[in-house]
Chains A and B, each alone.
Chain A
């Protein structure tokens, strides 16, 4: 099975990159606050229109570059954009009604690592959310569940374990704790080859 980035890795990188950025911008503004009160050493300035336009170009590059980077490094972006062309190995249809998840089979639903699984979630009444979470409460993925629509998400599991379902959208106080414990179990003893996902 080819290596694909896990949600843990993506979020770990995000935490690192954003922390570095946050510390840098805090330092920059702190330094600015200190220096702006001091007499300048000379009247010459390096802040020219050229510097300004370079900064502008950097903003454009960063804004667009983030999405190009994630498209190439985060596999589920391509799964999402190409989901209409990808034939899933399994389809799991789940219904939500009266703040309850109705699973198609007795839990846990057993899935294989590397399987292309399409979750089709329908709501009979309100807007809900559908998310899979590890036992340590970290998220694997989530989507919104719009009533009267087919809400589909294609996913390929790479980590063995048991997962909980939680509603990731508020649906009134009655849905405050909505979820199903140990709803999905992923087995990685029989790995299915990944193909046609890019």
Chain B
């Protein structure tokens, strides 16, 4: 078969798009668009990396910082949000064995988020609107540096992303709680207790007191609890970002109509606190919780066993609820007017709990895998291990910088964005998502897709892992030597580190190209395009026939809300 035929038709006929249900098609659309946005973010990252090595003649400061502004918008919202939302929109009904509340809403969700991302990106590309994702007040309304139209487009784009996010949240919660026709109605209270992880906590208390468990079989499985819990933070975060957008929009109006509003009427420190409270819910709330939930699900699917210390895991999700709402001050450790008690309590001590909650998820996942030895080193297992390693590196790096002594020397340096942010997102989160993609591929395609090349999958894995860790490491070394993250160096001050980081960045970009080639060669472009056409199957059908997942332990895992029974460890 020629390369052209392979890419057009896929490996061994590729994807059977006719067999896909509406929800399978929507999930695939969402994930594919998310993967394309990942490629755009990787390309932007590479342009910035190259500019840090040697300034590129076609890029001036305005353009450089415009790329830096849209890079996280494309990477986090356009890519990660879409992939995660797509996966969860499928997994919640799949694991709960009931139809999605609204298939139509799910379709509008990905389009709204993808459209919003494109609009925000265009604001940077065309108008060089560049207040960065942090939009520290009053920079986003400094119209001596930025065009009003650029600000308007950017705010509108981000608002669309947040509206799409709210649509996803509504659909998820509605799916968890509604009773479809012909289904038995479930009481609300135990569902809510389970959704917040309270039943796991009460089970632990009862065990200590020598009593019967509060809930022997919690109504919601652990991954659903994590999705529910993470979505609380997603909701609050969307409200805060929308609020900031409205404020900027009001000032844009004031500028256009000449109302003469003083930008200092808004207190910059208060704004920064509120904004970081919301923004931090992405990093320390939904990412950590969604990731923990995904690890648990992957560990259960890979091993075909129940989770080690399940009640602790449920209780930890409840603890993370409190922790994620109270840690934002670690972003303000270098803000001198911020009260010291806030820095100590929220910035240092409560933030340290993230080491505990994420450390627990790390341990529980590894032990669950360990207890199921011997496992086959499948793609999902190796990428899951990569994801675990990413957070194993990035979370302690974050805890180190969330210290008043160390933060004085590392704040806004390449350390923050390298070993912490990029290792967390690229190695921790993205590799976890690749693991989820590999494990969900047969479920989402009714096992019609045969992977084109395992060698390419392995190459993708190693290039991504080494590139991600390497880039973080060289950025971290530059940060320790004083290189700032939001400053331009044009005299070659750190070009050695940046050259090495750029090589690693190139490995990451190549890994994505290889992965996309392998997926397209497996699925086929013709078949891929068909996922954007309507399905002929009833909306209530989640999968045509339940597809048992072949676990790496050799066991077949049924698509059920309550996985294999096993003695509780805790």
Contacts and interface: CB of A to CB of B under 8 A. Distances in A.
B147 to A, nearest CB: 12
Contacts of A137: 481-483, 493-494
A94 to B, nearest CB: 13
B336 A152 contact: yes
Query: In which size bucket is the chain A interface?
Result: 35 or more
B412 A172 contact: no
Nearest to B68: A170
Interface residues of B, number: 89
A168 B412 contact: yes
Contacts of A35: 373
B373 A126 contact: no
Contact of B264 (A39, A148, A151): A148
Interface in A103-142: 125-127, 129, 131, 133-134, 136-139, 141-142
Contacts of B529: none
Interface stretch (B18-26, B170-178, B237-245, B382-390): B382-390
Interface string A18-49: 10011001101100110111111000010101
B389 A29 contact: yes
Interface string B214-225: 000000000000
Contacts of A153: 336
Contacts of A63: 352-353, 355-356, 399
B374 A172 contact: no
A33 B385 contact: yes
A56 B319 CA distance: 14
Nearest to A58: B359
Contact of A173 (B130, B385, B393, B476): B130
A144 B400 CA distance: 19
A67 B336 contact: no
A187 interface: no
Interface of B: 60-62, 64-65, 128, 130-132, 134, 136-139, 142, 145-146, 264, 267-269, 272, 308-309, 312, 332, 334-337, 340, 344, 348-349, 352-353, 355-356, 359-360, 363, 366-367, 369-371, 373-377, 381-382, 385, 388-389, 392-393, 396-397, 399-400, 403-406, 408-409, 411-413, 419, 469, 473, 476-477, 480-484, 486-488, 490, 493-494, 569-570
Interface of A: 7, 10-11, 14-15, 18, 21-22, 25-26, 28-29, 32-33, 35-40, 45, 47, 49, 52, 55-56, 59-60, 62-64, 66-67, 70-71, 73-74, 76-77, 80-81, 125-127, 129, 131, 133-134, 136-139, 141-144, 146-153, 166-174, 176-177
Q: Which 8 A-B pairs have the closest CB atoms?
A: A63-B352, A74-B405, A170-B486, A70-B405, A173-B61, A138-B482, A172-B145, A127-B136
